[in-house]
């Protein structure tokens, strides 16, 4: 079976973009050029008749810059204050750029407590499906202002997989600061080899995972592998690829050999709450 070719037929796609992709690492300020290109790509995918959901980090980073802070906050209360300032500004930027392509967007802020409550989770699912029915692209983030732990979802890696499972997505693309999953840390070992396809996230693969070297994002490879487990078990393929080249997104959807593909392996009685409580 050509697992890559199958990706050309995906109809509901969740794209997760991390802080390291949408801001300049040197300054922590928004990279407007990359944001504009990301939005254009997503709108083009939507115009092909596919459903698109964007899971975007970056609210805290945008907030601490807006407040004139010199470095990322460390205390929970300051992180939440930065998120309160930054989330509105980040969404305003997204809406402005999306509107240039005549695309309506909606902000969806989630917490783990909402997603582990059956009634609230169903309300979230209903909202997502109504938005997609209305041809809206939801822009999702963790509600950092009220979350008890800012990295509850690991820089939104886990959150994006949960969203993919909620909406029955058939493809999740994680835009990271690395080309894919390697058998060793490629920053330290130039001979490290990248996996093209992973059909099962074994303990050996988990043990290979190294924390991300990015100074901007908060997620590491462990959270991405955990996201793969959730997505695959829910029946969704997942690809990790480098967000420094946003052309990787259409390349993946064209069946090209980009990033590391995690092949779906749907569990009959999949229960997302079991994965969140791990």
| Better-predicted residue by pLDDT, 17 or 144 | 17
The three-state (H, E, C) secondary structure of the chain, written as one string:
CCHHHHHHHCCEEEEEECHHHHECCCCCCECHHHHHHHHHHHHHHHHCCCEEEEEECCHHHHHHHHCCCCCCCCCHHHHHHHHHHHHHHHHHHHHHHHHHCCCCEEEEEECHHHHCCHHHHHHHHHHHHHHHHCCCEEEEEECCCCCCCCCCCCCCHHHHHHHHHHCCCCEEEEEECCCCCECCCCCCCCCCCECCEECCCCHHHHHHCCCCCCCCCCCCHHHHHHHHHHHHHCCCEEEEEECCCCCHHHHHHCCCCCCEEECCCCCCCCCHHHHHCC
Beta bridge partners of 126: none
pLDDT, tens only, 133-144 = 999 999 999 886
Q: In the prediction, which pLDDT does 154 show?
A: 57
Distance CA 58, CA 30 (A): 9
Residue 63 near residue 83 (C-beta atoms within 8 A): yes
Residue 150 pLDDT > 80: no
Band of pLDDT at residue 128, cut at 50, 70 and 90 = very high
Is residue 17's pLDDT more than 80?
Answer: yes
The band of 232, judged by pLDDT with boundaries at 50, 70 and 90, is very high
As a whole number, the mean pLDDT across the chain is: 88
Q: In CATH terms, is domain 3-276 a member of 3.40.50.880?
A: no
Neighbouring CB atoms inside 10 A of 108's CB total 18
- Does this model's pTM top 0.85? My answer is yes
pLDDT in tens, 178-214: 899 988 777 778 888 899 999 998 888 887 765 444 4
pLDDT for the residue numbered 166: 96
Is residue 111 over pLDDT 50? yes
pLDDT digits (tens, 9 = 90+) for 24-49: 888 778 899 999 999 999 999 999 99
Q: What is the pLDDT of residues 86-100, one digit of tens each?
A: 899 999 999 999 999
> 154 or 269: whose pLDDT is higher?
269
Res 215 pLDDT > 50: no
Give the pLDDT of residue 147: 63
pLDDT band at 153 (very low <50, low <70, confident <90, very high): low
Q: What percent of the chain has pLDDT above 70?
A: 91
Domain coordinates in residue numbering, the chain? 3-276
């Amino acid at each position: 079976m050509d697992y890559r070719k199958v990706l050309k037929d995906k109809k509901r796609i969740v794209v997760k973009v991390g802080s390291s992709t949408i801001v300049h690492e040197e300054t922590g300020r928004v990279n407007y050029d990359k944001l504009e290109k990301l939005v254009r790509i997503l709108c083009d995918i939507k115009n092909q008749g596919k459903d698109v959901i964007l899971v975007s980090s970056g609210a805290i980073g945008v907030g601490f810059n807006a407040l004139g802070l010199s470095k990322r906050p460390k205390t929970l209360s300051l992180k939440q204050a930065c998120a309160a300032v930054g989330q509105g500004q980040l969404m305003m930027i997204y809406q402005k750029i999306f509107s240039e392509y005549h695309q309506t967007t909606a902000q969806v802020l989630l917490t783990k407590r909402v997603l582990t409550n059956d009634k609230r989770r169903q309300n979230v699912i209903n909202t997502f499906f109504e938005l997609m029915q209305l041809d809206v692209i939801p822009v999702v983030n963790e509600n950092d202002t009220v979350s008890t732990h800012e990295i509850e979802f690991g820089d939104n890696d886990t959150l994006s997989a949960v969203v993919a499972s909620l909406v029955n997505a058939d493809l999740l693309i994680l835009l990271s600061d690395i080309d894919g999953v390697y058998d060793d840390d490629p920053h330290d070992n130039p001979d490290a080899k990248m996996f093209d396809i992973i059909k099962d996230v074994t303990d050996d693969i988990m043990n290979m995972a190294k924390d991300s070297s990015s100074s901007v994002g908060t997620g590491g490879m462990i959270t991405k592998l955990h996201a793969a487990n959730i997505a695959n078990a829910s029946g969704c393929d997942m690809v990790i690829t480098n967000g420094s080249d946003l052309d990787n997104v259409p390349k993946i959807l064209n069946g090209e050999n980009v990033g590391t593909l995690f092949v779906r392996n749907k569990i009959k009685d999949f229960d997302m709450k079991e994965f969140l409580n791990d």
